[in-house]
Structure 1
Amino acid sequence: MQNSAETSSRRRDRVSRRDALRYAGAASVLAGLGAASAIPTAPPAAAAGSQLIDFAAAQIPAEHIRAAGYAGVINYVSTSRPGSNFGAKPITRPYAESLVRAGLVIVSNFQYGKPGGTAPSDFLRGGPGGVADAKTAWHLHTAAGGGQSAPIYFSVDDDIDRETWNNRALPWFRGINSVIGVLRTGVYGGVKVCEWAIADGVIGQSRTPGKRWAWQTRSWSNGKIHPAAVLYQRVIDTASSPGPLVGGIRVDVNDVLAQDVGQWNLHP
């Protein structure tokens, strides 16, 4: 699957008129839910409509997301950990359709385990775990109506060192690649994780020149933003520093750093 996907990537380098029109339409959505201006590529002071939110507690009604000025969501294509019951995991087709009707974009993310949680971090499961997680993610993504060529971001939600990346996380990503291909694989993590994923060739390339499927979190990044990142998680909801309320739910807020961040409508 990976080889054929890479062949398709080379073909997509020459964008057709139809693709160009679809790209422009998606860009206008992200630039302000219909505004004509382009998305700023620099992260500071992202305007309303150039940010996406992520959340797990419950499905936030589309009208509340749009009223708050956000362009869409990064939603889970994974299930809740044992002993938890996150209402937004996984994204469902009816909910996805309500977001689309409201003119909001959707990006897919997989995270089941978590450090200190009832299931360990996903990347600790190595290559076989990557295979299993990719199959689960792809099933839930497509069941909800996710685009066939859209990437899925896989989370490294921890401050790991290079040895842990090489011996645990990298085999996990190789397992993911073997199922859905590099072109549909993205990473969530700190700046070093994004850098390593790009250097080791385990994540795909955005249609925005110079950008890769790297969703970088502010955590463990020491104020640095990787130039190839397409998303930057600027606001992280914690007990000591709560995120904004949208529809009664605390959310994380992500700056959009590229026109193509892997949104479903741009990758049917």
Structure 2
Amino acid sequence: MQDSQGTTELRPSHRISRRDALRYVAAASALAGLGAAAAGAAAPVASAAAPTLIDFAMRQIPARDIRAAGHSGVINYVSTSRPGSSMGAKPITLPYAQSLAAAGLAIVSNYQYGKPGGTAPSDFTRGYAGGVADARTAWQLHTAAGGGQSAPIYFSVDDDVNRETWNNVVLQWFRGINSVIGVQRTGIYGGINPCQWATADGVIGRSGSPGRVWAWQTRSWSGGQVYPAAVLYQRVVSTVSNPGPVVGGLEVDVSDALAQDVGQWNLHP
């Protein structure tokens, strides 16, 4: 990736302010923007016609540019930049989140600090204690930006890990994460195998969309297969040799929403 159940009916007992009314409209719009995915929720393959969310790291892309490009929302970081780098979209800020919500865009949280070959090692290599520390940081940044209290955070396995590494290292990292925010608020980003292993080992939560779990699968390391239980599929991975589409002057990654509930904040207040 880049360093790129039914809803509850609102029944206010008092007159709401204009500001709150606008907030409710924006939240409903963000949900509606993903609603079309529900019709294809049982399909095992991603579709270019599905609602799309983008992820990016270098700087904040204005909400108007994201809407103009036809995307339904963003997957944004609840982590800081690695040593020696300064990425303007890490972490997501409250003012930026408010601008996205006001434009009717969905917001989903993702945590990634380290990276293979980067100035900090991959987060999952730090085991249980690392998972505890990462979950605490992720939750603090998520809530500071206005993230939903029951919304999941996707934690990145941005590498082609094998089963041995999963069992002995990555799984322990996820158990550390679970100890802080609970299984239901934990999601995974990775290739098809880690997504399946995380589900089988019970370390990620379940979407409100039937049969789906908090798995954000990347096409990388997936052999052209799509995990039927995933809620997001990263169809476009922007690289130097294969750049992604440009939105607001920045190349972005693009993910298809495979379910109505992908963990967007407005569905999980």
Per the TM superposition, whether the score is higher than 0.5 is yes
Q: How does 1:110-125 map to 2 (within 5 A)?
A: 110-125=111-126
1: CA distance, partners of 2:102 / 2:61: 14
SS in 1 for 2:184: helix
* 1:181-204 deviation per Cα after TM superposition (whole angstroms, max 9, x unaligned): 000000000000001000000000
Query: Structure 2: how far apart are the matches of 1:16 and 1:66?
Result: 24
What is the aligned partner in structure 1 of residue 13 from structure 2? none
**RCO comparison, higher one (Cα < 8 Å, 6+):** 2
- CA shift at 1:18, angstroms? 1.9
CA distance in 2, matches of 1:202, 1:118: 28
Cα pair 1:233 1:252 within 8 Å, conserved: yes
What SS does the corresponding residue of 1:253 show, helix, strand or coil? strand
Q: Which runs of 5+ in 1 are unaligned?
A: 1-12
Q: How many percent identity over aligned positions?
A: 71
For the 8 Å contact 1:28–1:38, the answer to whether it is kept is no
Query: Could you say what secondary structure the match of 1:18 adopts?
Result: coil
The corresponding residue for 1:8 is: none
Q: For residues 107-134 of structure 1, what are the alpha-carbon distances to aligned partners after superposition, in whole Å with 9 as ceiling and x for unaligned? A: 0000000000000000000000000000
TM-score by length of 1: 0.88
Contact 2:29 2:104 in 1 (8 A): no
Change in 2 beyond 3 A, CA 1:108/1:119: same
Contact kept, 8 Å, 2:30 with 2:105, in 1: the verdict is no
User: Which residue matches 2:32?
Assistant: 28
Report Cα offsets for 1:8-32 as digits up to 9, x if no partner.
xxxxx7x57628xx99865422247
Contact 1:27 1:38 in 2 (8 A): no
Contact kept? 1:173, 1:202, Cα under 8 Å: yes
- Gapped regions of structure 2 (runs ≥ 5): 11-24
* TM-align CA RMSD: 2.0
Matched with 2:188 is: 187
Q: How does 1:150-161 map to 2 (within 5 A)?
A: 150-161=151-162
Structure 1 residues 49-68: Cα deviation after superposition (integer angstroms, max 9, x where no partner): x0000000100000000000
Q: Which amino acid aligns with 1:46?
A: A
Alignment of 1:29-108 (within 5 A): 29-31=33-35, 38=38, 40-41=40-41, 42=43, 43-47=45-49, 50-108=51-109
Once the two structures are TM-superposed, the CA of residue 40 in structure 1 deviates from its matched residue by 3.1
Q: CA deviation at 1:46?
A: 2.8
1:18 to 9, 31, 42: 9
Within a 5 Å distance, the mapping from 1:135-174 to structure 2 comes to: 135-174=136-175
Residue 39 (structure 1) shift? 5.1
Counterpart contact for 2:30–2:101, Cα < 8 Å? no
Task: Give me the whole-angstrom Cα distance separating, in 2, the residues matched to 1:134 and 1:110.
Answer: 9
- Which AA in structure 2 matches 1:45? S
Aligned to 1:4: none
Q: Size of the alignment, in residue pairs?
A: 249
* C-alpha contact 1:185 1:202 (8 A) present in aligned 2: yes
Distance (Å, rounded) in 2 between the aligned partners of 1:16 and 1:128 = 35
Which residue type is aligned with residue 238 of structure 1? T
